[in-house]
Chains A and B, each alone.
Chain A
Amino acid sequence: MTAAKTLYDKIWNAHLTDEAEDGTCLIYIDRHLVHEVTSPQAFEGLRMAGRTVRAPDKTIAVPDHNVPTTLDRVNGIDNVESRIQVEALDKNAKDFGIHYYPVSDVRQGIVHIVGPEQGWTLPGMTVVCGDSHTATHGAFGALAHGIGTSEVEHVLATQTLIQKKSKNMKVEITGKLRPGVTAKDITLTVIGKTGTAGGTGYVIEYCGEAIRNLSMEGRMTVCNMAIEGGARAGLIAPDETTYAYVKGRPHAPKGADWDKAMAWWETLFSDEDAHWDKVLTIAGEDIAPVVTWGTSPEDVLPITGTVPFPEDFAGGKVDAVRRSLDYMGLVPGTPLSQIAIDTVFIGSCTNGRIEDLRAAAEILKGKKIKDGLRAMVVPGSGLVRAQAEEEGLAEIFLDAGFEWRLAGCSMCLAMNPDQLSPGERCAATSNRNFEGRQGRGGRTHLLSPAMAAAAALTGHLTDVRDLN
């Protein structure tokens, strides 16, 4: 047995609170993020059992899934059920004394954007949330994953989680990305290779030159979609980029604490000869701007490709592809760049950060979107929105013909009024293209913010490289 450890091993060991003989472990949770949709039943459970929140100081709540993103939301939420959920969170946060960013707070936004922005997410931490895209926080070298509502209640009551250790998987992206290729293209390409179940049972560590060269925003985009590859979590070892992002954030350590934290953070990497149960290596140069054509995030192709034939696949995928092409209204053999779209959605915890808005605005600057197209930008948080306004990005979007919304999940999952109608086709920077995800009968193509902006200009899926 070698003593060499992966980053995941190291974080796991530092949080191991109890281990039973059969390998069932209690892991201590450093940060628990909470939103309005998956928490009401958990708080209700606590009340019924007469339990309290063990560590309210490590628990942070923000409403995001249900909230309207139109300016009139200050007047209240029209939809009764949504309003009840948000009000329940208001009350639960108050009753149990946890940190809270209400709808009216400029810091409100998508939980996975607010956590890092406020400095709640730090290297080496364990972070959980009743939401599968908690994987996002892995970008900081934190062990972060989604949990169900029963587990939310468990963490509230005990500040621990019952876990079995996952296996280690390394995804290395070597070399440099070509122009026009972004973090979103990396993460979609990886899922295209592993399939949506390829990461099941694993924690993925992303590494390699192309990953190192990404900003924190880009790294969050990559880790965000680890879950679409089936992995429990995705993470990236912290480095100078990470420390620079974290430093000075409201809840980041300061003074002597900062030095002490840095001393530990600098030990957070996978040892040279650590054991990997699975390895995937992709050359950065080989990654192209990609889009999805089907109803699973693994249905990925370079924008230069054509809609595939069901017969090109094997096993259960043949039927699945037939079903998804039918749902998507696509004919095999059609060039992807000829697919006309009705709507563009830029936002979500995958691509709703400032860098994403900059990338889209860069393409849109001084131009107009295709006539008749519906296009919206939904910043990931109130602070992202404010910064984009300060940088003049909001103006570029508005001049181009985009709607400029308030922060929330919005059309990523369409729980609020931002939805597709049946048959409506959307180029979206979010993370799921499942049937009905953006509204019943709605058709989703996942892509990067730059590619979404390109599609908005032409009215069809477009190779962003052709615009330059």
Chain B
Amino acid sequence: MEKFTSLTGIAAPMPMINIDTDMIIPKQFLKTIKRSGLGVNLFDEMRYDDDRNEIAEFVLNKPAYRNAEILVAGDNFGCGSSREHAPWALLDFGIRVVVATSFADIFYNNCFKNGILPIVLPQEDVDKLMDDAQRGSNAVVTVDLESQTITGPDGGCIAFEVDAFRKHCLLNGLDDIGLSLEKSAQIDAFEVAAAQARPWV
């Protein structure tokens, strides 16, 4: 997994609540057996018309936001299915940070496994960033994971919370599986005890 330390980039506003995983990456693109190449279909049904032409008003089609690396959105971002294709599509497009008032549980987890930082902020802070993000190519925001801060175009600074273990993994680009395999002895011991206690499992 790619590390995440600090990022200065354009923030795109998506002032909608309940942006679900079917919007982020519709199911016809789940037929891949790869992780890469999904960026072109990110938000596919909002982004293209029936003839596959770009819909000019959609935020990521606007010249100012084509290279956005940060998304600012409303409540309950990523609700719906467990498809990791959603963070894969965001990542492939170039999004490394999503800011919202709340996230759906599985999506939130999936982000950390892919080097994306999901940030939960209170409504007033999201409103402020949404304003900042409306400034087109001037919507440049710095997200620093080490200090857990977001700095807006006016220099205003917002602090955010992140789980210490997840922060550690993101900062160092650590692979969860490698870390868990270091605990093989505990897993072995658990299995031995469980085979005694619940032999039917």
Contact = CB atoms under 8 A, between A and B. Distances in A.
Interface of A: 14, 17-18, 20, 22, 24, 26, 28, 30, 37-38, 40-41, 44, 49, 51, 54, 58, 65-66, 79, 81-82, 84-85, 88, 122, 124-125, 130-132, 134, 145-151, 153-154, 157-160, 162, 164, 196-197, 200-201, 230-232, 252-253, 257-258, 260-261, 264, 296, 315-317, 319-320, 323, 413-415, 422, 432, 434-437, 440
Contacts of B104: 197, 200, 230
Given A148-B110, A159-B187, A434-B22, A132 B82 contact: yes
B83 A38 contact: yes
B106 A85 contact: no
A132 B198 contact: no
A266 B191 CA distance: 22
Interface of B: 15-18, 20, 22-23, 26-28, 30-35, 45, 50, 74-76, 79-84, 87, 102-106, 109-110, 113-114, 163-165, 176-177, 180-181, 183-184, 186-187, 190-191, 194, 197-201
Of B32, B106, B114, B181, the most chain A CB neighbours within 10 A belong to: B106
A125 B106 CA distance: 20
A316 B15 contact: yes
A160 B193 CA distance: 15
A414 B27 contact: yes
A125 B201 contact: yes
Contacts of A323: 16
A314 to B, nearest CB: 11
Contact of A261 (B50, B103, B106, B198): B198
B84 A415 contact: no
Contacts of A58: 201
B14 to A, nearest CB: 11
Given A153-B177, A158-B181, A230-B104, A435 B22 contact: yes
14 contacts: A17-B187, A18-B187, A22-B163, A24-B163, A26-B183, A38-B84, A84-B33, A150-B176, A160-B180, A232-B105, A252-B200, A316-B75, A415-B31, A435-B45
Given A26-B187, A200-B102, A319 B45 contact: no
Nearest to B73: A316
Contacts of A124: 198
A24 B180 contact: no
B82 A130 contact: yes
A230 B79 contact: yes
A77 B186 CA distance: 44
Given A413-B27, A434-B23, A26 B15 contact: no
Nearest to B200: A253
B34 A131 contact: no
A259 B197 CA distance: 12
A414 B15 CA distance: 28
Nearest to A198: B76
Given A17-B187, A40-B33, A159-B187, A147 B82 contact: yes
B82 A260 contact: no
Contact of A148 (B50, B113, B199): B113
Contacts of B176: 150, 154, 162
A264 B198 contact: yes
